[in-house]
A and B are shown apart, each in its own frame.
Chain A
Amino acid sequence: MEITLKFYRFSPGNGSKGDFQEYPVEIDESATVLDALMQVKEDQDSTIAFRGSCRTGFCGDCTMRISRRNRMACSTTVGAAQNEGTITVEPVRLITTTKDMMYDLDTWVYDKYKAVEPWIETDQKSPDKEHVVSNKVVQDLRKVMSCTMCWLCDEGCSTMVVDRKFVGPLALTKAYRSVFDPRDNRTEARLKNLSEKNGMWDCCHCYEASEHCPKGIDPTERIFALRNKAIKANAGIPTVRNHYRSFAKSVKSHGWLDEARLAIETEGLTNIKGQLKQVPLAIKAFRKGKRPLPYFLHEKREGRDRIKRIFEKWEENE
């Protein structure tokens, strides 16, 4: 089929602001967008710059914004990407480009990847036999290991839009691989590191990362698992730890959430500054008729004893 490939050109060295350049391409509709790009580079314009390596969705190198959707060029057919015979190819939006479709991977991918220390550490001496890991654990970790670092999860991330310093779902997925590997013995230190500023507690668990992951790794659930482990290990930041504990305490004792108590306990009872910060909002809400009862008057739901028993049983199982 005949298509027009609109390719985004950008050369900061030339003072260029960037613009689309059009290339007519004759190519089969079952070919990939990466095939089309390579055809243009070989036959028409050797100066266009883009990344692409394995051509089979294995290396995650050719992530681009294709016809206004973020995807990998090697896994997207021309037929699927074209819109009335036109395919637009431009950089994903949250990553800095150095030329055309060449990304600053050090800043946006590798530095964050390194920050989560993506390796296994153990102080055990080499055992006589191989270190056996259960099949269940291996299957789970293998799924995570299939991450190609294509960056589509970070690109979809809601937090990254407002704060590019956020470590992001990609690096956190890699962190999961180390934290949940039973051979690693730095779990607590890792969870503390991941709880630092711009770490895992900045994730708003919007499931965008899971929606965008082409490998079905489900980064959002991986981040949930890391956070639950951190709470159990007492490693989260104080307000978050307080928030989780108060939430659980409230549901356990009353069957449902006491939001007034949650707001107070999240800041910490002795955190005067944190408590004072809430006063203007509380007064405003009170004036508008939002008047939650103090928590000793919070209604106890029917069935709360049964819910309490569920919590106790869960705590016994821990």
Chain B
Amino acid sequence: MAYAFFPGCVSKGGCPELYPAAKIVADKLNIELVELRDVGCSGAGVLSQEVSDPVNARTLAKVEKMGMTMMTICSTCQGTFTQANHRLQSDPEYRDRINQEYLASEGLRYDGTVDIKHFLWILDEEYGLDNLKDLVVHPLEGLKVAPFYGCYLRRPPELMVPKGFEGRKTVLEKTIETLGGEVVNTSGKGKCCGFPILSSSEDNSLAMCGDHTLEAKDKGANCMVTPCPLCHLELDGKQEDAARHKKQDIDLPILHLPQMVGLALGFSPRDMGLHKHLVSTEEIVNILEGVRA
């Protein structure tokens, strides 16, 4: 299996532990990642579509030439790309205009044929969770994991969870179970983490972060797992501030999806970069080592 790999900015920036973890895990799964280097940021919903659509069309034109599916490890990149791709695929006139105005001078053209999938979807839909289970050497027994999807892997539903792909609504839970962990469901698992309004409305942002992590904690979770590094920036990076805001201790470790997979495949917490998290991951390590002892 080979994919055109779009790592996104955050996996090499604010969450530098994510990129190496994803690479190591993909390698272990025998998934070849051909990294896209000569491409731009997806825009993350911050850049206007008027400029992010041409930048993303350029990326997709390059992937189209490679004849591969594009893999992301960030829900926000996934959401932005899926929406841009939808506009480009469903409106040939719009696509032609972008091709002519922005891509033709570079000899590029996008014909709208690229499929874009998050690593989480690939595990279930292409790799197969049964195949993943066969590789588990250190089941996450004893670990209670709260799944946190965030917004962009679920909405807009007609694009992110189209007919025939309904399994995407519960794929994170199924992945946790495949790896031997116990799922702790929370009401906020598909809600916003708070990150997008951190700069405009900090109190609301911290309230969201606090609500999600405290609910998971109250329900007995030892950790939370997310397929989105922007959610991680909030849930891990701002958790201490959220705890102050809520006037309660939280201390809930937050895992990136590839880290959780990697731990079950036998990689050490250090291999997976758990020591780089702002919230201590000691509890996870203790639980897993207790089981493994």
Is B41 a contact partner of A256 (Cβ separation < 8 A)?
yes
Q: Does A210 contact B (CB under 8 A)?
A: yes
User: What does the 1/0 interface line of A155-171 toward B look like (CB < 8 Å)?
Assistant: 00011011100100000
- Once the chains are docked, how many angstroms separate the CA of A85 from the CA of B16? 53
- Once the chains are docked, how many angstroms separate the CA of A154 from the CA of B150? 18
Q: Does B218 contact A (CB under 8 A)?
A: no
- Once the chains are docked, how many angstroms separate the CA of A224 from the CA of B48? 9
Is A243 a contact partner of B204 (Cβ separation < 8 A)?
no
Is A266 a contact partner of B199 (Cβ separation < 8 A)?
yes
Is A163 a contact partner of B191 (Cβ separation < 8 A)?
no
Is A206 a contact partner of B38 (Cβ separation < 8 A)?
no
Measured between C-beta atoms, what is the minimum distance from B20 to chain A in Å? Answer: 12
- Which residues of B191-219 have CB atoms within 8 Å of chain A's CB atoms? 191-192, 194, 196-197, 199-201, 203-205, 207-208, 211
Is B278 a contact partner of A211 (Cβ separation < 8 A)?
no
Which residues on the B side are within 8 Å of A309 (C-beta)? 105
Q: Does A247 contact B (CB under 8 A)?
A: yes
Q: Does B142 contact A (CB under 8 A)?
A: no
Q: State whether A290 and B276 are in contact (beta carbons under 8 Å apart), knowing that A211-B157, A310-B102 are contacts in the complex.
A: yes
Is A289 a contact partner of B16 (Cβ separation < 8 A)?
yes
Residue of A at shortest CB range from B233? A259
Is A256 a contact partner of B40 (Cβ separation < 8 A)?
yes
Q: State whether A243 and B46 are in contact (beta carbons under 8 Å apart), knowing that A208-B191, A255-B41 are contacts in the complex.
A: yes
- Contact partner of A206 (CB less than 8 A), chosen from B155, B200, B205, is B155
Q: Does A311 contact B (CB under 8 A)?
A: yes
Query: Could you say which interface size class chain A belongs to?
Result: 35 or more
- Once the chains are docked, how many angstroms separate the CA of A124 from the CA of B6? 51
Which residues on the B side are within 8 Å of A220 (C-beta)? 156
Which residues on the B side are within 8 Å of A211 (C-beta)? 155-157
Is B41 a contact partner of A288 (Cβ separation < 8 A)?
no
- Which residues of B46-73 have CB atoms within 8 Å of chain A's CB atoms? 46-51, 54-55, 58
Is B207 a contact partner of A163 (Cβ separation < 8 A)?
yes
Main secondary structure, interface of A, reads: helix
Which residues on the A side are within 8 Å of B16 (C-beta)? 289-291
- Which residues of B171-229 have CB atoms within 8 Å of chain A's CB atoms? 191-192, 194, 196-197, 199-201, 203-205, 207-208, 211
- Contact partner of B101 (CB less than 8 A), chosen from A244, A304, A313, is A313
- Once the chains are docked, how many angstroms separate the CA of A239 from the CA of B199? 6
Q: Does A307 contact B (CB under 8 A)?
A: yes
Which residues on the A side are within 8 Å of B199 (C-beta)? 239-240, 243, 266
Q: Does B164 contact A (CB under 8 A)?
A: no
Which residues on the B side are within 8 Å of A206 (C-beta)? 151, 155, 191-192, 196
- Once the chains are docked, how many angstroms separate the CA of A307 from the CA of B39? 8
Which residues on the A side are within 8 Å of B255 (C-beta)? none
Which residues on the B side are within 8 Å of A289 (C-beta)? 16-17, 275-276
- Once the chains are docked, how many angstroms separate the CA of A163 from the CA of B16? 33
Tell me which of A11-19, A31-39, A172-180, A197-205 binds B.
A197-205
Q: Does A24 contact B (CB under 8 A)?
A: no
User: What does the 1/0 interface line of A207-226 toward B look like (CB < 8 Å)?
Assistant: 11011000000101000100
Tell me which of B7-15, B88-96, B111-119, B124-132 binds A.
B7-15
- Contact partner of A257 (CB less than 8 A), chosen from B13, B196, B275, is B13
Q: Does B37 contact A (CB under 8 A)?
A: yes
Which residues on the A side are within 8 Å of B14 (C-beta)? 259, 290, 292
- Which residues of A268-289 have CB atoms within 8 Å of chain B's CB atoms? 281, 284-285, 288-289
Q: State whether A255 and B40 are in contact (beta carbons under 8 Å apart), knowing that A243-B46, A310-B102 are contacts in the complex.
A: yes
Residue of B at shortest CB range from A302? B38
- Once the chains are docked, how many angstroms separate the CA of A281 from the CA of B102? 40
- Once the chains are docked, how many angstroms separate the CA of A208 from the CA of B45? 15
Q: Does A143 contact B (CB under 8 A)?
A: no
- Once the chains are docked, how many angstroms separate the CA of A29 from the CA of B82? 38
Q: Chain B residues in contact with chain A, CB under 8 A? A: 9-10, 13-17, 37-41, 43-51, 54-55, 58, 101-102, 105-106, 151-152, 155-157, 191-192, 194, 196-197, 199-201, 203-205, 207-208, 211, 237, 241, 275-278
**18 other contacts beyond A211-B157, A260-B13, with CB at 8 A cut-off?**
A159-B201, A161-B191, A204-B151, A204-B196, A218-B156, A256-B41, A257-B41, A259-B10, A289-B276, A290-B14, A292-B14, A301-B38, A302-B37, A306-B106, A307-B40, A310-B102, A313-B101, A317-B101
- Show 22 A/B contacts (Cβ-Cβ < 8 Å), sorted by A: A161-B208, A161-B211, A162-B204, A162-B211, A163-B201, A202-B197, A202-B204, A203-B197, A205-B45, A210-B156, A211-B155, A247-B46, A251-B43, A255-B41, A257-B10, A257-B13, A257-B41, A258-B13, A301-B37, A306-B58, A310-B55, A310-B102
